[in-house]
Chain A
Amino acid sequence: MSAVQAKKINIVQAINMALHDAMELDSSVVVLGEDIADREGGGVFKCTAGLSGKFGTGRVKSTPIAEQAIVGAAVGGALAGLRPVAEIMLMNFTTVAMDQIVNHAAKLRFMTGGQTHVPLVIRTTTGAGFGTGGQHADYLEAWFAHTAGLKVVAPSNPADAYGLLLSCIFDDDPCIFIENLPLYFVPGEAPVPGQRVPIGKAKVVQEGTDITLISYSKTLHEVIAAAKDLAKEGVSAEVIDLRTISPLDMPTIIASVAKTGRAVVAHEAQVDFGVGAEISARLHKELFGTLKAPVARVGAARSPVPFSKPLESAFVPTKERILAAIRETLK
């Protein structure tokens, strides 16, 4: 392995690197959001640090706290030939801009009969664990995945964050790029510069024969930890990192579950009406009769994200809760 590949970086650095590389490659790539220019600190999480210094405040624009204005400007810019990357600081704040995202970004290609398309990325972060309570930590990916016209990705590591962000920026459709706040500073293998990760391609991160564990974003790490425990007990789990939520990579999922006959889907969003429900429905349709157990789902409690630490710890799908679901499925 080369020295570059052996190097470790975190997701913040990976995102910064992807934005930098995309802006260098294509002058139509622009970035906007609250506090993102260096004058305002390069973003509250520093994902955009240094970009305005290098590419100018015309292409890297701090905005007022006005999410409709941010996403609207991104939509208009995309219609006029730019490739805007809008940072919506936290996923809950996308709710303020839902009209622009759902009624406009997602639909304009179709509603104009293909005359236009909206190549924008909305980067946003979320996740429980830092005690940010009920309005700063929700996983809302199902809302977006439910909307025709949007692509939704949620990387779990720096290399995928880099490669998927590049793919999203150069994709001709609106992409919702979901980051996880507690994962921001976890180091991982550095990406190969310029190497894109395709949208819509899941990754089998561990091969196995007894059960398929499907996850993404931060919960994937809990799933991997659970799989390690299972290995000690002699259970061979196959682990799939979805990476892209919509479009779902069903061929990879089906191939795995056809082999193992059992599946557990785990994500930090609440279970009800979630991504796990969609995967479960599709698996039951495709593999009904060959499944050895019903597809199980693990997710957050059906409550707003709580503040108090013991509540917050119980709210998220922990390794223990994932293991319990796996054991039930293996019965």
Chain B
Amino acid sequence: MSETKQPGKATLLEIYRIATLIKTADDRFIALIKAGQIASPYYSPRGQELIPAAISVSLTPADYVVTTYRGIHDQLAKGIPLKPFVAELFGRATGTCKGKGGPMHVTHVASGLPVTTGIVGAGLPIANGLAWASQLKGTDQVTVVNFGDGASNIGAFHEALNLAAVWKLPVIFVCQNNGYAEHTKYEYGTGAATIADRGLAYGIPGVEVDGNDAVAMWQAASTAIARARAGEGPTLLEANTFRFRGHLMGDDSHYIAKEEMAAAIAADPLPRFRAWLIEQGHATDGQLADIEATNVAAFEEAVEFGLASPYPDVSELDKDVVAEGVQA
């Protein structure tokens, strides 16, 4: 192994900017639902912000990111524009999907976000196809596909890892292991000691990393991305993390031991990263406060845009079903 790479100051601050933007969005979205200003199912990524933030700084706009119903962190990290993003969460005509996707299915092709699936594990086989197209066209695009620990037990995961291995596809399989598949604890539902171990079964590198450590996450992701770009094939990255706000909003996490939750929240990766950035001299408290304030202002502007936007016309039911519109 060569000497471990270190992220530069600008990279670290960009990771911080993205991670705190995700937290801002999550806090605000939950507040809006609680206030009754919008009605929506919502799967919070709170606690998992550093994973996509640390991945995205090694991606280009042309790279693809595939994610799931718990996906706003991945979408924001990929650079989805805030106004149509928020409008989509609100089901408005100005949303990225004209309100037809909603919070479980936010996509934005121009940002490299073509698929957000609500079906556990289904993104992985599709990621292979995106990567196959890049491979055929001879571009150096990579595809990052995010999923949870629960997805590693479904057939699509295994079919996809095997195909990616035999076709040597430029895919990075990112398992955001938050310890719970819906309500089921990892140790009960998963036979393997680690998900990274499952890479071995398909002949691809399986790398376990602390997803709550920005530097370690950046190192693991940038290595896997460089490997895929160089045509050396897929990597399975297991990023260990924790989910602070249940599976679905309204779920009180009763199946998680109080001490476990308390310990996880006490080790919240965001304040920890913030303190580390200051301690290491990468930023002052004031600089980080500025980043946070800019995020809040930008997000608030997007919320105003979303709330002021119209709902789609009912005639939209007949549009975008097939190329010709209505199906005979």
Q: Which residues of A contact B (CB under 8 A)?
A: 30, 58-59, 61, 63-64, 66, 68-69, 71-82, 84, 99-100, 103-104, 108-117, 148-149, 151, 171-173, 200, 246-250
Contacts and interface: CB of A to CB of B under 8 A. Distances in A.
Contacts of B130: 76-77, 79-80
Nearest to B316: A113
Contact of B327 (A108, A172, A247): A247
A64 B97 contact: no
Contact of B100 (A76, A113, A149): A113
B134 A79 contact: no
A81 B135 CA distance: 12
Contacts of B1: none
A76 B328 contact: no
B73 interface: no
B32 interface: no
B156 interface: yes
List the 3 shortest-distance A-B pairs measured between CB atoms, nearest first: A76-B129, A72-B125, A80-B133
B67 interface: no
B72 interface: no
A112 B109 contact: yes
Contact of A61 (B105, B117, B119, B167): B167
Contacts of B162: 64, 66, 69
By size class, the interface of chain B is: 35 or more
Interface stretch (B11-19, B273-281, B317-325): B317-325
A82 B115 contact: no
Nearest to A249: B328
Given A61-B167, A80-B134, A148-B327, A113 B98 contact: yes
B239 interface: no
B136 interface: yes
Contacts of B115: 76, 79, 104, 108
Contacts, number: 158
Given A99-B156, A103-B119, A200-B328, A113 B128 contact: no
Nearest to A151: B322
A155 to B, nearest CB: 19
A59 B136 contact: yes
B160 interface: yes
Which residue among A112, A246, A248, A250 has the maximum number of chain B CB atoms within 10 Å of its CB?
A112
Interface string B120-136: 00101111111111111
Contacts of B308: none
Contact of A64 (B96, B126, B133, B159): B159
B101 A68 contact: no
A81 B133 contact: yes
A319 B39 CA distance: 57
A69 B159 contact: yes
Interface string B132-144: 1111110000010
Given A69-B160, A111-B100, 13 more contacts: A30-B136, A69-B128, A73-B128, A75-B126, A77-B129, A79-B130, A84-B129, A104-B126, A110-B320, A112-B320, A149-B321, A151-B322, A200-B328
Nearest to B171: A76
15 contacts: A68-B155, A73-B132, A76-B115, A76-B126, A76-B130, A76-B131, A77-B130, A78-B129, A79-B129, A82-B133, A82-B136, A111-B97, A115-B108, A115-B114, A151-B322
